[in-house]
Amino acid sequence: MKAIVNVGLKEGVLDPAGKAVHHALLALRFSNINGVRIGKQIVIDLDENDEKKAKEDLEKMCEELLANTVIEDYNIEIVK
């Protein structure tokens, strides 16, 4: 099964890259944007059939490596 992990800066933590892109979009005359946040998408190909076990493993992966929980949030999506 495949898992998609999205990691991004927590709400309230300023995202410098997102801000830069926001300014660039304004320069392209897209004036109807309230904000831009940039994150990472990590696609993991898992050799696992048990969805519950996969979710548990992914949770551990996020806590230990994929996200820095001091500044980042994550969400996990299983794709069959």
Partner 1 sequence: MKIAVILYPGTNCEYDSKYAYEMLNQNVELIWHKETKLPQNLDLVVIAGGFSYGDALRSGAIAKFSPITKAIVEYANSGGKVLGICNGFQILLEANLLPGAMKHNKNVHFISKYHHLKVENSENDFLKELKKGDIVNIPISHGEGNYYIDSDALDELYDNNQILLTYCDENGKILNPNGSVDSIAGICNKNRNVFGLMPHPERAMEKLLGSDDGIKMLQGLIS
Binding site for partner 1 (CB under 8 A): 9, 13-17, 20, 40, 65-66, 68, 70-71
Closest distance between partner 1 and the C-beta of residue 17, in Å?
A: 6
Q: Given the complex with partner 1, which of 20 and 50 has the nearer CB atom? A: 20
Count the alpha carbons within 13 Å of 22 in the hemisphere toward its beta carbon. Answer: 13
Provide CB contacts within 8 A for 41, sequence distance 6+.
4, 5, 6, 7
Closest distance between partner 1 and the C-beta of residue 51, in Å?
A: 25
Q: Do 74 and 4 meet the contact criterion of CB atoms below 8 Å apart?
A: no
Q: Given the complex with partner 1, which of 15 and 76 has the nearer CB atom? A: 15
Closest distance between partner 1 and the C-beta of residue 70, in Å?
A: 4
52/76 Cα distance (integer angstroms): 12
